[in-house]
Amino acid sequence: MKLLCSSFQDHTNAVVIPLFEDKIISKDASSCFSQEEIDTIQLFLKQEQSLSCGAAHYLFLPSGRYVLFVAKGKKEQWSIRNARIVSRCIVVNLKKLHINEASVDSRALGVDGYDEEAMLEVIATEMVMADFSFDIYKQSHQKEKKRDITVHLAIACSASERKVLSSAVARGSIIGEEVNSARVLSNTPGSDMTPAIFADRAQKGCESHKVEIEVWDENKIQDMGMGGVWGVGKGSVVKPRFLIVKHEPNARQKPLVLVGKGVTFDTGGLNVKIGNAMYEMHMDMSGASAVIRSVIGIARLNVPMNVIGLIPVAENAISGESYKPGDILTSITGKTIEVMNTDAEGRVILADALGYAQQLNPRLVIDIATLTGAALGALGVQANAFFTNDEKSETMVRDIGEKSGDYMWQLPLWEEYEREVKGVFGDVANTGKSRYGGTIAGAMFLKEFVDYPWAHIDMAPTMISTNGDHLAKGAKGTGVRFFIALARHLANEM
Ligand code: BES
Ligand code: ZN
Ligand code: ZN
């Protein structure tokens, strides 16, 4: 998709007009039409029923031009959340109607508290996300030439303003592209996305954007004392990897460290998953995809913030060499992990990454993981769970979640929960003792490996898109928008 910041006169064959229930069209959008056309449009709108937010009506004018009306819903309920959804719906509808080029009345998507630059960035990101589909495994993908659509984000402004707004659109597009790249990694089937292949893809991505990357193989992982990554990964014929990626524009600045769970397929291990529970587990490396594409995105946007990504990648498989319930693994910190359940593998590999982060003198460490099914039980599919030991991060994580579109809701890390993860024969147990509160038990386990300001995101609830997201089926790319926004926020604080 091509996204341009244009004037209303640049393209008028198809015009997209976002409308509240009052159906009042902006002066700028009206300027695209003759009086006769305006009369036709008004008559049309009078007859049409109000639609719920995101729904569309279209009108084919006698002049041969399309007008697409997209409902913004009730004025009182208009928010940045709705603006994201409507931006996506515009692209979905243009594609459905086979319209290849259109102008959008972009100011009509504006929200209080967001200046024009910020707003155009958001619109661009969401439109690029809506343009994505994962069809490289379809035979028809080869035959059908993918239609490349052009969307003009129309705004009446001066030439100098347009320059500024155009770069906002370009930045927003980069963020959307990185979200989509993370979705490609996550959606790729487990057999085609082993730890070595993931490392290879990461390396290629980093090379094209001048991001430093180091890849450790299974020998180095064992030499470094990462008993967790090795323990989980050794049962598979495809051996684990550990990735370190770096964007370090500043000398002597404490880094933001991002840690992502990279389980390329989660069978559950010897505590094998039953029924349908294994189906989407090729996406169990979605935290890892988010981290790699975030660091690349942060580099592409030249964010003046040191960021290091740590990514343990392993397949949780079944064989004679699989780790077993009752095994006791020694993590990089020396703390021992008593394996109660081999399906709680994410926290075991993250323990080594979090332990390693202790050497990096971090400003803040945030890990992201498809960690627990229980997070879906707690929050449904709309919010990610987050935890933090850092008071300042409580509001920061939630606010940046809201601003970025990756919504975050906090759960407690109280010491009363500590007994849940006390080991009997080892230091820490990898599951809680109670059958309740599994998401908190996961976070309490990770907390044992942390001695710095830290936040944990359990992204299991939003691993895949859901009805109402208006995004392609499959991985949603959670975390990329959030981490890029976070790095920019922290850079501004310095
Ligand atoms: N990868 C799963 C969690 C998951 C489930 C993510 C559904 C996304 C969708 C994780 O490794 C897991 O299996 N967790 C167990 C933990 C339990 C054994 C303590 C779970 O949630 O059941
Ligand atoms: Zn598991
Ligand atoms: Zn898992």
Chain segment 73-115, per-residue pLDDT in tens: 999 999 999 999 999 999 999 999 999 999 999 999 999 999 9
Q: Is the CB of 373 under 6 A from ligand 1?
A: yes
Q: Is the CB of 366 under 6 A from ligand 1?
A: no
> Does the active-site annotation cover 273?
yes
Residue pair 365/351 in contact (Cβ under 8 Å)? The answer is no
Cα–Cα distance between 469 and 467 in angstroms, integer?
Answer: 6
Cα–Cα distance between 478 and 144 in angstroms, integer?
Answer: 29
Q: Give residue 174 CA to ligand 3 midpoint distance, Å.
A: 29
* Complete DSSP assignment for 395-414: HHHHHHHHHHS--EEE----
Q: Give residue 436 CA to ligand 3 midpoint distance, Å.
A: 18
Q: Is the CB of 316 under 6 A from ligand 1?
A: no
Which ligand lies nearest to the CA atom of residue 458 in the structure? Answer: 1
Q: Give residue 315 CA to ligand 1 midpoint distance, Å.
A: 14
Which residues are paired to 306 by β-bridges? none
Residues 6+ apart with CB under 8 A from 275: none
Q: Is the CB of 463 under 6 A from ligand 1?
A: yes
Task: Express each pLDDT in 385-401 by its tens digit.
Answer: 999 999 999 999 999 99
Phi, psi (rounded to 5 degrees) for 52: -75, 160
Q: Give residue 341 CA to ligand 2 midpoint distance, Å.
A: 9
Tokens in use for 386?
């987050």
- pLDDT tens sequence for the chain (494 residues): 999 999 999 988 999 999 999 999 999 999 999 999 999 999 999 998 878 888 899 999 999 999 999 999 999 999 999 999 999 999 999 999 999 999 999 999 999 999 999 999 999 999 999 999 999 999 876 655 677 899 999 999 999 999 999 999 999 999 999 999 999 999 999 999 999 999 999 999 999 999 999 999 999 999 999 999 999 999 999 999 999 999 999 999 999 999 999 999 999 999 999 999 999 999 999 999 999 999 999 999 999 999 999 999 999 999 999 999 999 999 999 999 999 999 999 999 999 999 999 999 999 999 999 999 999 999 999 999 999 999 999 999 999 999 999 999 999 999 999 999 999 999 999 999 999 999 999 999 999 999 999 999 999 999 999 999 999 999 999 999 999 999 999 999 87
Q: Give residue 460 CA to ligand 1 midpoint distance, Å.
A: 8
What does the DSSP 8-state code read for residue 282?
G
Tokens in use for 228?
């967790």
Pocket mutation for ligand 1, best pick of 343, 444, 466 (most atoms within 8 Å of C-beta): 343
Cα–Cα distance between 271 and 322 in angstroms, integer?
Answer: 11
Cα–Cα distance between 126 and 36 in angstroms, integer?
Answer: 34
The minimum-distance atom of ligand 1 relative to the CA of 463 is: 8
Cα–Cα distance between 262 and 232 in angstroms, integer?
Answer: 11
The minimum-distance atom of ligand 1 relative to the CA of 370 is: 6
Q: Is the CB of 372 under 6 A from ligand 1?
A: yes
Cα–Cα distance between 232 and 197 in angstroms, integer?
Answer: 18
The minimum-distance atom of ligand 1 relative to the CA of 431 is: 19
Exactly one of 95, 162, 254, 273 is catalytic; name it. 273
